[in-house]
Amino acid sequence: MNKVQNIKIGLLGCGTVGQGVYNLLQMNRDKYQPVLNNTNLEITKILVNDINKKRPNIPQELLTTDPDEILNDENIDIIIEVIGGTTKAQDYIKKALLNGKHIVTANKDLMAINAQELLDLGNKAGRQIRYEASVAGAIPIISTIKENILSNKITKVMGIINGTTNFILTKMFNEDRDLKDVLKEAQELGYAEADPTSDIEGLDAARKIAVLASIAFNRSVVLNDVYVEGITAISVDDVNYAKLFNSTIKLLGIAVNNEQGIEVRVHPTLLPMSHPLAKVDDVYNAIYIEGNAFGDLTLIGKGAGSLPTASAVVADLLSIVKDMNRNIFSYENRSCYLDTEIMEIEDTLTHFYIRMIVLDRTRVLSKITEAFADNDVSIDSVIQKKLENNLAELVILTDKVLNKNMMNAKVQIENLEVVKEIKSLIRSEKEY
């Protein structure tokens, strides 16, 4: 046995994830020591806002409110950043890199807008930046894409990467309840925040798919490149029609590498029940990937939570420490060396589900299908249901069509006298 070596770690932030990291390092110390050739991992300082807040298990003497006490500490080798947000976190990470520290971060906000600058800065400093925990909690999706399936050209990444919306849509599907009602329950259970905007408007998922697309396609994709639609317009009627098509509705982050360019989008999606993502329920996350050698691969796991997220943070940490022990640098910070075109949403091809209220009289369907045909939108299947007052509800699934054409068809249909209202328009991933 070698002499016990100490690696000193500074922890920025001590909320749910920070405490998870601290606890996991204690809990699995006996596993890590032999794996790390007897190296001991020690969190020596923790940055917090309020020293007196109750944090079970965390020794108060480690706490500080002064970031420089950690960032300028020459004895600290690695910084774990679990504050979140962009401003302060970015300043701290930059300073830490300049001071020669490796970085492990769970910060999707930051990595979705400024990953490339930080990764380059890491390269210049000769230090690693790892961010497995920034996407899909415990699922090791970044390492998987970056290393384990590197032998493939990845053509598609599609994921349930927001637990809050998956919880809501699962409840709507299983319990026939409307969104507002379920959202309230999610808030009470702590699965949704008091201000749920970032989750239900799709922004959280958009950040994560930007990070994944960058790694999968070797091309920097940032939040602004992502087309985003949230779930607020989804009604329980849509969910029930989905069932009639043997499908479900999920909020998906989708990135596709086409010949014409990359498309990256987040939106509610009609998905056949036979798809591996369709039965991923509640707060589970899952990512489905297509590659030109493996075919398809799906990873399912917990997307959030104290220990699940810490699982990813500490895996990154162990990886860095193994390199430090061997005095090597086996990791590539930056893998975006292409500048593939990023497509506009109008130019992408998807299936659509459209639901509308129409007059219940002859020739209505023919007028509507004509409007579709005028815009090169071909129809896959139709359900029509009689309503009261001489109205009918019409649900149409289209073939895979140009989004631009579908939007034009929608406008034309809205202007038809026989159409009272278009209730919803949802993309569908029928082929996979």
Confirm or reject binding of residue 297 to a second copy (CB under 8 A).
yes
Confirm or reject binding of residue 116 to a second copy (CB under 8 A).
no
User: Which candidate, 261, 423, 279, 411, places its Cα nearest to that of 358?
Assistant: 423
First CA to last CA across the chain, in angstroms?
A: 52
Q: Which tokens belong to 170?
A: 């699962």
- What is the CA 152 to chain-centroid distance, rounded? 21
Which CA distances in Å does 202 have to 199, 223, 253, 371?
5, 11, 9, 31
* Shortest Å, Cβ 314 to a second copy: 4
| Tokens 């489905």, residue located | 288
Chain positions 123 to 142 lying near a second copy, rule: CB under 8 A, are: 132, 138-140
CA 89 to CA 12: how far, in whole Å? Answer: 9
Confirm or reject binding of residue 147 to a second copy (CB under 8 A).
yes
- Of 1, 3, 295, 389, which one interacts with a second copy (CB under 8 A)? 295
Nearer to a second copy, 298 or 408 (CB): 298
- Given the residues 156, 171, 208, 250, select the one marked as catalytic: 208
Nearer to a second copy, 41 or 129 (CB): 41
Chain positions 247 to 286 lying near a second copy, rule: CB under 8 A, are: 276, 279
User: Which candidate, 283, 334, 294, places its Cα nearest to that of 119?
Assistant: 334
* Shortest Å, Cβ 262 to a second copy: 15
- Of 39, 166, 248, 311, which one interacts with a second copy (CB under 8 A)? 311
* Shortest Å, Cβ 416 to a second copy: 42
Confirm or reject binding of residue 106 to a second copy (CB under 8 A).
no
**Is the Cα dihedral 363, 368, 372, 378 positive or negative?**
negative
Nearer to a second copy, 52 or 57 (CB): 57
Nearer to a second copy, 34 or 100 (CB): 34
Confirm or reject binding of residue 213 to a second copy (CB under 8 A).
no
208 is catalytic: yes
User: Which candidate, 85, 339, 132, places its Cα nearest to that of 221?
Assistant: 339
User: Which candidate, 251, 249, 202, places its Cα nearest to that of 227?
Assistant: 202
Compute, in degrees rounded to 10, the torsion defined by CA atoms 34, 37, 39, 41: -50
| DSSP symbol at 348 | -
- Of 299, 402, 407, 425, which one interacts with a second copy (CB under 8 A)? 299
**Which residues contact a second copy (rule: CB under 8 A)?**
20, 24, 27-28, 31-32, 34-35, 132, 138-140, 143-144, 147-153, 218, 276, 279, 291-302, 305, 307-308, 310-315, 317-319, 322-323, 326, 328-330, 335, 337
Catalytic residues: 208
